[in-house]
Chains A and B, each alone.
Chain A
Amino acid sequence: MKVLAPALPLLGVTLAAHEPPAPAIRRERPPPAPDEASLCAAALAGSTDAWSTLVARHNHRVVVSLLARGVRIDRAKDIAQEAWMRLVEQQRLGKLDRLQLPGLAVTQASFLALEAHRRDATVRKHDPLDEPAVSAALRDPQCDAEARLLTAERVTRCLEVVASCSASARKVFQLAYGGEGLSHEEIALRVGLSLQRVRQILCEVRAKLRAALTEEGEDER
């Protein structure tokens, strides 16, 4: 039957009624990630799984925020870990009524980094000015790294750069850095691009922004 099938349409015969229906081609998509609000609600209710998911989703961001403040990487990872443990502890003690991530974890980690730095400074009294950059960055943990980094003019310049990118690049950039905590895989699913393409777009936008910021920095000098 299958051998004859290509010739049959020429004879005006169709096999549609006799052929078994072709199986529908279905792309296996991973289940959608739980949204941030429901995860936070579950974590506040004491769900260990929810906490694990939130830590996996936001821990890297916490580490990067510490790195941006001049904390060394091994130390940053330890501090981030401790920050999460403190948050879980606070939740278990009923002291946590709201969970906004990664902001809360970043703030907690900043306080811990400051504490650690002060402790170290006390131990090394002979050299209190050691690591001045770290000291300056951690002096006021309420003052975000962001506030130190970009002035309003530089933000505007960066916004111009982003606005000049393609619509899909803008969307990818917004999803990656807009605070939803989406992984690159999740972004790829949302915008219908491959993971590789998403990363390529991000690298391109970053390169443009880096160039703009470098240019601005040179102008300021």
Chain B
Amino acid sequence: MSRQVHVTGQELELYVMGALDAARVDAFESHCATCEACAEALAGEAELEVAFEQVARAPVAAKTRVAAALPVRAAAYGAAGIFAMAAAVLVWFGHGPTPSAASAAGEGSGPALHHAMDDGAILDARNDALDGG
């Protein structure tokens, strides 16, 4: 690592974690001592490191609250997903033709048939589907 070559993000991270290869530490430090940009980047990385300590030392109550809230949120997202899927299925069976209906009509795929149908036909198809026909 010469003075012209800036330190990498990975080196910055490893250094503040105390995990940078011992053979590279001297070169890293001497570069950061003279390079304004790298010194600034190192300060930013060190800030993050200190911030992570703050997170790890957050009160147990806060951690418990967050951990308890996560499953609720996940369940809410899951329920929303299931609801969306159910709505999509309803729309499909309510407005779209069944493959058998499409082939019996001698028309192309579902969407093409849908465009060809008038409102009355749509209602009939939906009623058929709801009746299980």
Residues of chain A having any CB pair with chain B under 8 Å: 60, 64-65, 67-70, 72-74, 77, 145-146, 149-150, 155-156, 158-160, 162-164, 173-174, 176-179, 183-184, 199, 202-203, 206, 209-210, 213
Contact (Cβ within 8 A) A146 B51: yes
CB-CB contacts below 8 Å: B24-47 with A: 29, 32-33, 39, 42-43, 46-47
Complex Cα–Cα for A177 and B51 (A): 10
Contact (Cβ within 8 A) B66 A68: no
Knowing A149-B47, A179-B57 are in contact, say whether A184-B19 is a contact too (CB < 8 A).
Answer: yes
Across-interface contacts of A74 in B (CB, < 8 A): 29, 33
Distance between A114 CB and nearest chain B CB, rounded to angstroms: 17
Complex Cα–Cα for A5 and B99 (A): 70
Contact (Cβ within 8 A) B51 A149: yes
CB-CB contacts below 8 Å: B53-81 with A: 53-58, 62-63, 66-67, 69-70
A72-B32, A159-B58, A203-B13 known; 17 new pairs, CB 8 Å cut-off, are A60-B18, A64-B49, A65-B46, A73-B39, A77-B29, A145-B50, A149-B47, A155-B58, A158-B51, A159-B63, A160-B66, A177-B55, A199-B14, A199-B17, A209-B51, A213-B48, A213-B51
Find the B residue at minimum CB distance from A175: B56
Across-interface contacts of B49 in A (CB, < 8 A): 64, 68
Q: Is B52 an interface residue (CB 8 A)?
A: yes
A-B contact pairs, 13 of them (CB 8 A): A64-B49, A67-B43, A67-B46, A68-B46, A68-B50, A155-B62, A160-B66, A162-B56, A176-B56, A179-B53, A179-B57, A202-B17, A213-B48
- Report the 9 A-B pairs with minimum CB-CB distance, sorted nearest first: A177-B56, A67-B46, A68-B46, A146-B54, A159-B66, A158-B55, A74-B33, A149-B51, A68-B47
Across-interface contacts of B50 in A (CB, < 8 A): 64-65, 68, 145-146, 149
Size band of the interface chain B makes with A: 20 to 34
Q: Is B122 an interface residue (CB 8 A)?
A: no
Complex Cα–Cα for A174 and B57 (A): 8
Partner of A73, one of B32, B47, B62: B32
Contact (Cβ within 8 A) A209 B63: no
Across-interface contacts of B58 in A (CB, < 8 A): 155, 159
Distance between B18 CB and nearest chain A CB, rounded to angstroms: 5
Distance between B46 CB and nearest chain A CB, rounded to angstroms: 4
